[in-house]
Structure 1
């Protein structure tokens, strides 16, 4: 038993590090892309060169998003195993890419569509997020992790805005 762990140890650790690094890069990339889509909605409020305004804005936001993506991506399988709920629903890459495309579409739509008030926007985003979860995951741990992260991210962003970090 000890030999199996020793043989698996360095390889497993390297796989986790590579997986974490790739998740970090994907998180940074998606943060930049989603921010660019948000900037394009109000492009007249920014200087003509959108890319320079994108890179000169809060540089730490993509790093935080990358870190969060790596942490969540590495934590999710552990929670599934811990709860005894192995993920068996649509694990192929095409499903992952469709899920990312739907997520980016939801984010872009929230910037493009004019809602009557913030409550309508929030309810629409909540319904679309539940639809995204139902289509691609359907696990209790995925729903719980998604709701927990949504509340935590909202709390952190509200605290940052309250303390003037984005000004």
Structure 2
């Protein structure tokens, strides 16, 4: 005859059920935790992948930035064209006036068949000098920007006008002054040309470009005179006069200062290191 104890049986059943529930709960919780952790790892790996970064994180060019860059390029081209035209007309005018002084003093002689303007000069002289002035005037601020040394000495139009006046005076002296020989005149004009550079420029780029322009222009003039296009009276430096490089040097410095002044206010391009 078996005797059952109700309390003990209920207690045993409750304990077993509780133990079963406790044994099932951690397994379910562990599985759900693993699933959540795997999901986080997958999401983080996808978000950090290069394709996702390229698709979502890389900046895309907007229409406003493209339009602003195109507008800036258009304004720069328009400014460059305007400066070129101004420099061309300045060079043409100076060539007409200064060449007239040389012809009146019989320093420069052109064949009669090529003289066709009211200034008694060859037709090709003004456009050639105007083109050269445009090239030189644009080259000076470009070299300053490339070297990273912007010219800041006497940057005002009053100084530029005085520089032009001194340049015209040097040309007038070359035609009017009478020395015992051309060597003395050449030394005098060389001192005046260096004084012009020191007074209105004082930059290494201006000095270097002035010397380069004087050399190239003198070489071209020698070739033209050798081929009989025109000639100089009393040549003492091969086919030309020895003071002519001084005129080209002072002219390069003068036109360079005009080009630098015209370039003021134009935004410079950033330099890439």
> Is the TM value for this pair above 0.5?
yes
**Which position in structure 2 is the counterpart of 1:158?**
222
Structure 1 residues 165 and 39: CA distance shift in structure 2, 3 A: closer
1:32 aligns with 2:66: no
Structure 1 residues 103 and 94: CA distance shift in structure 2, 3 A: same
User: Which of the pair has the greater relative contact order for Cα pairs under 8 Å at 6+ separation?
Assistant: 1
1:5 aligns with 2:69: yes
**Which position in structure 1 is the counterpart of 2:163?**
99
Q: CA deviation at 1:2?
A: 5.5
**Which position in structure 1 is the counterpart of 2:131?**
67
Query: Which of 178, 192, 203 is matched with 1:128 structurally?
Result: 192
Structure 1 residues 54 and 151: CA distance shift in structure 2, 3 A: farther
1:111 aligns with 2:186: no
Structure 1, gaps ≥5 residues long: none
**Which position in structure 2 is the counterpart of 1:77?**
141
TM normalised by structure 1 equals: 0.88
Aligned length: 162
Greater Rg, structure 1 or structure 2?
A: 2
Structure 1 residues 121 and 53: CA distance shift in structure 2, 3 A: farther
Q: CA deviation at 1:42?
A: 4.1
Query: Which of 196, 210, 213 is matched with 1:146 structurally?
Result: 210
1:58 aligns with 2:122: yes
| d(CA) in 1 for partners of 2:200, 2:88 | 21
> Could you say which structure has the higher helix fraction?
1
> Does the aligned pair in 2 maintain the 1:41–1:112 contact within 8 Å?
yes
Structure 1 residues 79 and 33: CA distance shift in structure 2, 3 A: same
Structure 2, gaps ≥5 residues long: 1-64, 232-273
| d(CA) in 1 for partners of 2:216, 2:207 | 14
**Greater mean deviation of Cα atoms: 56-65 or 88-97:** 56-65
Q: CA deviation at 1:52?
A: 6.8
Structure 1 residues 27 and 4: CA distance shift in structure 2, 3 A: same
| d(CA) in 2 for partners of 1:104, 1:92 | 19
1:69 counterpart SS class: helix
**Which position in structure 1 is the counterpart of 2:246?**
none
| d(CA) in 1 for partners of 2:150, 2:101 | 35
1:22 aligns with 2:86: yes
The root-mean-square deviation of aligned C-alpha atoms, in Å, is 2.3
**Greater mean deviation of Cα atoms: 51-60 or 105-114:** 51-60
> Does the aligned pair in 1 maintain the 2:151–2:203 contact within 8 Å?
yes
